[in-house]
């Protein structure tokens, strides 16, 4: 319907005040389970090293009374390493932008520090989970990269020639393989699709009060014949590893910091302030045989 002639509307008006709420809304994923669940230790060089060892398999063991002793061959330990990776976030704020009145934040610098700290944490999580190889790098052309979960777990691997749906039989078979190797996994790390698949296992048992006015269809704890595991959702798994799950013994994974997350203000070169946020760390796989991975899932 057309308004009467000469109706003065907001479209012609001058001086209407801006209607901008004093809130900034950000729903980007920020959870970092592997970063949060791993113990922190110190690294002292860009090449971080540690040793692993194994016991000989059990065997029949009996000795003749009074017999002389004989020494068995002693096996050497295995020396492992991982490179530290430098992760940075940089920003520059003009002097004017810092002092003008802004919606949603009083300080642009303070807001950017908060925001980029979360971004840096998710970048670290990505490296700890997704990175498949370590790169020593060079001072000229190549940055060092650490090897993450996707690269370390190679022994207890369940794969298939074609993608298939995750079942309790597939999951339990991998847990049995890890158990046979001496591992005791306590976390299932997965993206959303595989979390739904676990919730849909037909063997799941749920205890729901008869008068509960809600529907429950989730599995946060998976109790198997080979231990009890917590199911943990990972946005990073959705990014690049949606068709697999990790079964992790978290006591065998540690993050080693050469430089914990820090913020430095750089030298001024004009009417602006420059900042750099830096972290340098690597991932210790104390023994990858304590964990496992199931691949080729739908």
- 72-102 confidence digits (pLDDT tens): 888 899 999 999 999 999 999 999 999 999 8
Assess whether pLDDT exceeds 90 at residue 140.
no
For the chain, domain boundaries? 33-50+79-205+215-294
pLDDT in tens, 117-133: 999 999 999 999 999 99
pLDDT in tens, 262-278: 999 999 999 999 999 99
SS3 content of the chain, % helix, strand, coil (to 5): 25, 25, 50
In this structure, of 185-194, 203-212, 241-250, 284-293, the range with the lowest mean pLDDT score is: 203-212
53: Cβ contacts below 8 Å, ≥ 6 apart: 75, 77, 78
> How does DSSP classify residue 162?
S
Report the pLDDT averaged over residues 155-176.
Answer: 96
pLDDT at 11: 81
pLDDT at 13: 79
Closest alpha carbon to 219 in 241, 191, 200: 200
Q: Are 122 and 32 in contact (CB under 8 A)?
A: yes
Report the pLDDT averaged over residues 1-11.
Answer: 79
Please list the residues that pair with 254 across neighbouring strands: 39, 284
Give this prediction's pTM: 0.87
Which is more confidently placed, 190 or 212?
A: 190
112: Cβ contacts below 8 Å, ≥ 6 apart: 91, 93, 275
Sign of CA dihedral 236, 240, 243, 244: negative
CA separation for the pair 291, 285 (Å, rounded)? 10
Strands 245-248 and 187-190: antiparallel
């Amino acid at each position: 319907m057309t308004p009467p002639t000469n109706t003065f509307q907001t479209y012609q008006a001058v001086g209407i005040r801006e209607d901008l709420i004093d809130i900034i809304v950000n729903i980007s994923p920020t959870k970092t389970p592997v970063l949060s669940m791993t113990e922190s230790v110190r690294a002292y060089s860009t090449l971080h090293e540690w040793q692993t060892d194994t016991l000989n398999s059990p065997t029949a063991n009996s000795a003749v009374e009074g017999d002389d002793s004989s020494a068995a061959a002693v096996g050497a330990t295995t020396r492992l390493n991982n490179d530290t990776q430098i992760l940075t976030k940089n920003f520059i704020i003009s002097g004017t932008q810092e002092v003008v009145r802004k919606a949603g934040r009083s300080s642009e610098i303070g807001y950017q520090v908060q925001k980029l700290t979360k971004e840096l944490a998710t970048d670290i999580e990505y490296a700890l989970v997704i990175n498949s190889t370590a790169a020593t790098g060079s001072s000229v052309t190549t940055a060092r990269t650490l090897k993450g979960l996707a690269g370390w777990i190679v022994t207890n691997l369940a794969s298939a020639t074609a993608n298939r749906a995750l079942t309790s039989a597939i999951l339990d078979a991998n847990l049995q393989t890890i158990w046979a190797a001496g591992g005791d996994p306590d976390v299932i790390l997965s993206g959303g699709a595989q979390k739904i698949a676990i919730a849909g296992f037909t063997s799941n048992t749920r205890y729901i009060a008869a008068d509960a006015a809600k529907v429950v269809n989730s599995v946060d704890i998976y109790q198997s014949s080979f231990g009890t595991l917590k199911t943990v959702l990972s946005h990073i798994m959705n990014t690049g590893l949606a068709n697999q799950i990790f079964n992790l013994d978290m006591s065998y994974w540690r993050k080693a910091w050469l430089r914990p997350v820090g913020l430095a203000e750089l030298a001024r070169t004009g009417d602006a302030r420059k900042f750099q946020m830096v972290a340098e760390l690597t991932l210790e796989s104390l023994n990858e045989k304590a964990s496992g991975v199931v691949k080729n899932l739908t």
